Structures are given as structure tokens and as C-alpha cells.
């Protein structure tokens, strides 16, 4: 696994240990398998953004701190230039760029997400996390899956949803999708 994932896993483990919570206790609370949590902490497995959001909320640690080890410092405004957001490559088919990583005490996490096309026969990987989410398709076309529904979203379309329900996205027509995602 890459060095970034190992560093993030180490930060999660450190935060958990400082809080005096065992791997078993945290796994039970977050409703994940103990082995999966151990793999995340040891940098063996890719760590989904939804899980990072849960850790961030549980321990009141900014997502940016988990991702890059630095605390956000800006509190009046934050400008992130085109392509200069904090790059997060969590899953092969999704690339995230945090667009407010340097703003302290955010009430939302905005990301520019690129969804890479993959074989239609491959399984869809679902994710869920506390809160709500707003997704706006900047370019491309995608199929959005949530709670027994499949919705086609075109450029300019948006969806707002309860992100506690398992959800997934798939780029269509062999073209990557660019999407603005705001996690609340």
C-alpha cells in the first residue's frame, strides 16, 4: 500500500490510542470488522473517505489533519486554486480533491471527485457515512446507486441525500466523471 495510506493509518491508530479506546471498542462503535480496522491502522488496506469522515467526527479532528498531518489554520476565508486542493486517492475508481482542507472548523467538506470508468460487469462498491451529501455533476454522465434506486445523472444534474444509506457511483460511456461533492 502507498505511503500516504500508511501515514493516515498511523494517525488513526495514534488518535484512537490517545483517546484510550481499543481496536475492538472502536470497531464495534463504527460497526466494522476488527480485522478491517486493524488493516486500516496498519496501512494494509485502502481507507474509504466515508470511514475517514466517521473518524474525523468521532474524535473531533479535522479531516485534513487525518489526511496530511497538518492542522487547518484559516478561519476567515480560504482560496484553493484550480487543481491545488489536497489530493486524496482512496479508491482506484475515485479521486478526491479536498477544496477547503486549510479552513478550520468547517461545517461541510467540499471535494472535487473524479470517477474513473470501469467495466460494467465489475461490482459496484457501496459506501455510507453519517450526515448528508450534495453531489453536482460538473462533466460526464454517471449512474448513482442509493437504497434500491439507480439514477442517471448528466452534466449539470445534482442530488442531495442522506449519506447514511449505502451509495455508490459509476461513470458511464467510458468517460470519467467530475463531480462536486459536499459532505455535511
At residue 120, does pLDDT exceed 90?
A: no
Domain extents in the chain:
3-68, 86-183
Is pLDDT of 178 > 70? Answer: yes
Q: What is the mean pLDDT of the chain?
A: 90
Confidence of residue 73 (pLDDT cuts 50, 70, 90): confident
- pLDDT confidence of residue 96: 86
> Whole-prediction pTM value?
0.78
Would you state the torsion angle of the CA atoms of residues 88, 169, 78, 11, taken in this order, to the nearest 10 degrees?
A: -40
- Rounded Cα distance between 11 and 61, Å, is 11
Q: What is the pLDDT of residue 21?
A: 94
pLDDT tens figures, 163-174: 989 999 999 999
pLDDT category of residue 132 using cuts at 50, 70 and 90: very high
Identify the DSSP state of 124.
P
Model confidence at 91, in pLDDT bands (50, 70, 90)?
A: low
In this prediction, residue 112 has a pLDDT band, given cuts at 50, 70 and 90, of very high
Collapse the DSSP code of 18 into the 3-class scheme (helix H, G, I; strand E, B; otherwise coil) and give the result: helix
Q: Does domain 3-68 have CATH number 3.30.360.10?
A: no
Residue 178 in contact with residue 138, Cβ under 8 Å? yes
| Residue 43 neighbours by CB under 8 Å, 6+ apart | 1, 5, 6, 7, 8, 9, 10
Say how many CA atoms lie within 13 Å of 12 toward its Cβ: 29
Supply the pLDDT for residue 131.
Answer: 86
Pick the CATH number of 86-183 from 3.40.50.300, 2.60.40.10, 2.60.120.10, 1.10.238.10: 2.60.120.10
Evaluate whether 138 touches 179 at the Cβ level (below 8 Å): yes
Amino acid at each position: 500500500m502507498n505511503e500516504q495510506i500508511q501515514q493516515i493509518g498511523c494517525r488513526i491508530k495514534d488518535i484512537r490510542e490517545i483517546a484510550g479506546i481499543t481496536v475492538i471498542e472502536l470497531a464495534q462503535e463504527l460497526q466494522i470488522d476488527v480485522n478491517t480496522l486493524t488493516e486500516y491502522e496498519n496501512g494494509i488496506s485502502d481507507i474509504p473517505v466515508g470511514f475517514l469522515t466517521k473518524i474525523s467526527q468521532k474524535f473531533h479532528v479535522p479531516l485534513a489533519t487525518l489526511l496530511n498531518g497538518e492542522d487547518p489554520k484559516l478561519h476567515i476565508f480560504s482560496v484553493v486554486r484550480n487543481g491545488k486542493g489536497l489530493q486524496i486517492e482512496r479508491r482506484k475508481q475515485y479521486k478526491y480533491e479536498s477544496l477547503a482542507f486549510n479552513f478550520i472548523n468547517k461545517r461541510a467538506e467540499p471535494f472535487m471527485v473524479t470517477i474513473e470508468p470501469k467495466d460494467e460487469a465489475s461490482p459496484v462498491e457501496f459506501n455510507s457515512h453519517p450526515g448528508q451529501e450534495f453531489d453536482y455533476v460538473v462533466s460526464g454522465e454517471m449512474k448513482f446507486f442509493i437504497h434500491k434506486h439507480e439514477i442517471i445523472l448528466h452534466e449539470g444534474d445534482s442530488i442531495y441525500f442522506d449519506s447514511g444509506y449505502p451509495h455508490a457511483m459509476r461513470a458511464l460511456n467510458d468517460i470519467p466523471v467530475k463531480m462536486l461533492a459536499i459532505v455535511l
